[in-house]
Amino acid sequence: MRSDNVKTGMQQAPHRSLFNALGFTEEEMKKPMVGIVSSYNEIVPGHMNLDKIVNAVKLGVAEAGGVPVVFPAIAVCDGIAMGHVGMKYSLVTRDLIADSTECMAMAHQFDALVMVPNCDKNVPGLLMAAARINVPTVFVSGGPMLAGKINGCKRSLSSMFEAVGSYAAGTMTEDEVKEYEEKVCPTCGSCSGMYTANSMNCLTEALGMGLGGNGTIPAVYSDRIRLAKHAGMAVMDMYNKNIRPRDIMTKEAIINALTVDMALGCSTNSMLHLPAIAHEVGFDFDIKYANPISEKTPNLCHLAPAGPTYMEDLNEAGGVYAVMKELADAGLLNTDCMTVTGKTVGENIKNAVNKNPEVIRPLDNPYTKTGGLAVLSGNLAPDGSVVKRSAVVPEMLVHEGPARVFECEEDAIAAIKGGKIVAGDVVVIRYEGPKGGPGMREMLNPTSAIAGMGLGSSVALITDGRFSGASRGASIGHVSPEAAVGGPIALVEEGDIIKINIPEMTLNVDISDEEMAARKAKWQPKQTEVTGYLKRYREMVTSGNRGAILETK
């Protein structure tokens, strides 16, 4: 046992005295020690129930012969952090979570781990940590929130942000906004659409790191408690069979995850997190690799904000395994990949059934023949940019219009709500990238304001920042290189014609190479003054097209 390094032998007598202080018995000292990484807190709605999940995991571990030991991980609620300086502190926590979990696991020599995340950066941060630590590890999340209901229709957090835009446009009253405020988030759990948290929790199943149902069983269902107990048992089975994360998170598994992502229509943030996870296992993931996968992978699901269905509907339709079965039947998945069940992907999904062809479209009736995400390149994004094309209305798949240039998110929101943005415009928000922000803020407020103002089918938005999974429309993020390092987005001027062609996967500004070079020669770097962690982060972070991973010079 790895934990023998702190439990066995005369040299470890001082260590054992400290385990005695923890109340360990002699019997427990002889068993594997399983770290349970709890992201529980009382500020994130998706994390307020994790104490119950953790307790269920502990029971499962103990039942299967291990000794469960809980330690914490931080979490930021992206919804609460949205639209102010707090959003600079969201993406950056992914690396804090990975680093701190690595520190705790290595310092205390756990034999195995169960990761209990739920929202946004916790899942990828803990997947990164799992790859580094490489002891048997299972993921079990807190589960998605149930959708809210207003006038008999399902609604979610993205509806709330768009309601604010509708109020600014004069198409919704204050009382109507208040009703949304009280009803769109009715339970604990990760917000109910296919946003970043639910995208990443679904992808734990596709990667093989979570049990079936991990991404979709609602937070308030007792099935979630049973799943947590089984996760505790599963990690002990992995320990006995010596199955480790790097046996599971292979290049082939990451390609599987990207394929499932395309079918589900996941958040654009997965194009930050999958490259970062791949980096930890030694796979150099270029985001442009997504396009050939997207071209052959049909989009089978239109969950909110792309469509009218929610995570609870996907769960009832058969969940992620049912989507994977559709893809496997078409030969689009590697079914030989190992998983945390001790079985292959093919063995896990062989009995999966699509119970609702309106929620999970069959292969002969997809929403589109291509996947949910696309990487656009051109003279405005030489290293690529990302759009959730499954959430773009048909009339905006090809668009050109004048650039309306803003140096930060706040200025753009003021212009949108002030009626200064009109049909046909292309809103450009720059200096919001990994270095420029720093922290690569999500742009849910401006995209929601555009939709709420009734401009969702006529205005595009491009940024070197990123978008919430709740964003919809022609929202193109991760433009690389970013403005802060002199990327072409820094050189765009008011009125330049921006040309977007999502089917052809291009993003260009209609100026000559000579004009671009002349502007670059006159460009001066611009940085906001920051201190503390953000300063260190800015010095180490790489571009969005590389997953905003951290590197030392």
**Residues forming the active site:** 468
Under a CB-based contact definition with an 8 Å cutoff, are residues 394 and 418 in contact? no
Quote the CA–CA distance of 414 and 362 in Å, as a whole number: 43
Quote the CA–CA distance of 373 and 203 in Å, as a whole number: 15
Segment (H or E) for 413: helix 409-417
Q: How many residues appear in the chain?
A: 553
Tell me how far the alpha carbon of residue 394 is from its chain's centroid. Answer: 25
Residue 78 marked ligand-binding: yes
Q: Which residues contact 198 (CB under 8 A, 6 or more apart)?
A: 144, 190, 191, 192, 215, 216, 311, 469
Residue 121 marked ligand-binding: yes
Q: What's the chain's Rg over C-alpha atoms?
A: 23
- Determine the angle formed by the axes of helices 157-169 and 444-452, rounding to 10 degrees: 50
Quote the CA–CA distance of 357 and 451 in Å, as a whole number: 28
Under a CB-based contact definition with an 8 Å cutoff, are residues 462 and 489 in contact? yes
Torsion sign across C-alpha atoms 271, 276, 279, 281: negative
Q: In the numeric block, which tokens belong to residue 431?
A: 């200096």
Quote the CA–CA distance of 103 and 97 in Å, as a whole number: 10
Instruction: Look at the block and give the residue holding tokens 């107990």.
Output: 229
Quote the CA–CA distance of 39 and 130 in Å, as a whole number: 15
Instruction: Look at the block and give the residue holding tokens 């990302």.
Output: 386
Residue 442 marked ligand-binding: yes
- Amino acid at residue number 174: E
Binding residues: 78, 120-121, 442
Binding residues for Mg(2+): 78, 120-121, 442
